Amino acid sequence: LGKAMYAISAGVDESRWEAEYTMGRGVNMTLCKDKCEAGCSEYLLPGKGKCFNPQHLFPADQQWGNFDVRDVCNRTHVRRSFYKSSNATCTYQTDLYELPLHECIGPFSKPRPWGIFSCIAPQDEVTVVLLA
121, pLDDT greater than 90: no
Helix or strand (DSSP H, E) at 80: strand 77-83
Helix or strand (DSSP H, E) at 128: strand 127-130
Look over the chain and give the mean of its residue pLDDT values, rounded to a whole number. Answer: 78
Q: What confidence tens digit (pLDDT) does each residue in 82-92 have?
A: 999 999 999 99
CA distances to 38, 43, 59, 121, 123 from 99, rounded to whole Å, are: 21, 16, 24, 18, 20
Q: What confidence tens digit (pLDDT) does each residue in 5-55 have?
A: 333 333 334 433 333 334 447 899 999 998 998 999 999 898 888 999 999
Top-ranked range on mean pLDDT: pick from 29-38, 56-65, 80-89, 108-117: 80-89
**Residue 5 and residue 115 in contact, taking contact as beta carbons nearer than 8 Å:** no
66, pLDDT greater than 70: yes
**Residue 83 and residue 93 in contact, taking contact as beta carbons nearer than 8 Å:** yes
